[in-house]
Amino acid sequence: MLDAIAALHQGEVIGLPTETLFGLAADPWHPEAVARLTRLKARPTDKGFILLVARQEDLDSLVAPPSPLARSLMARFWPGPLTLVLPARPGLPDPITGGSGSVAVRHSPAPVVQELLALWRGPLISTSANRAGEPPPATSQEVREIWRSEGMRVLDGAIRPDALPSTLLKITANRATLLRHGAIPLEQLRPWIPDLEEAG
């Protein structure tokens, strides 16, 4: 684990198992790390990234004060596979927000993620560990094979074979829009968001 922390400080990208898919992680405040991850994933610069946090208090430096709806969803589903897209604090790097003024955040319950974040003491970017257009890997060994040419540090672990990505909701004031179906199904969200909209 400590060598993964050292790699992150050096602006490298690492692999790790989350509660959903196997992911790639990087320091969101390190421009070279963000550029490296963007290149590896062949990611459009206007797409932004998900940030993993160790606790809700860590959101203070990332998002504007959450609305009552956002707070109720955090209380019910965090830690868990629910990613919330919330209004960003001014000053977050454009590669993180995609220039949108919003940032995607998740409190992950995965033990490896929790241990890493406790040592790191800050948020980390998370994105799926597959190459663009390829299926997501399910084991650390698969991640090492995919990124062998990068010499990437990969933390050991595995995910469920039928794992789904996190459910992705955009929260604007007290309105919610479903941006991506995922590990938390609609029937679990509806009691908390009766007027939930789906992105077209």
Nearest to 14 by CA among 114, 92, 126: 126
Which residues fall within 8 angstroms of residue 174, CB to CB, at 6 or more apart? 67, 68, 69
Enter the pTM of the model. 0.95
For residues 55 and 143, the model is more confident at 143
- Quote the distance between the C-alpha of residue 142 and its chain's center: 20
Residue 50 has pLDDT above 80, yes or no: yes
Structural domains of the chain in order of their starting residue, each with its CATH number: 2-192 (3.90.870.10)
What are the tens digits of pLDDT across the range 156-198? 987 887 889 999 999 998 899 999 999 999 999 999 998 999 9
Whole-number mean pLDDT of the chain?
94
Contact predicate 89/61, CB 8 Å: yes
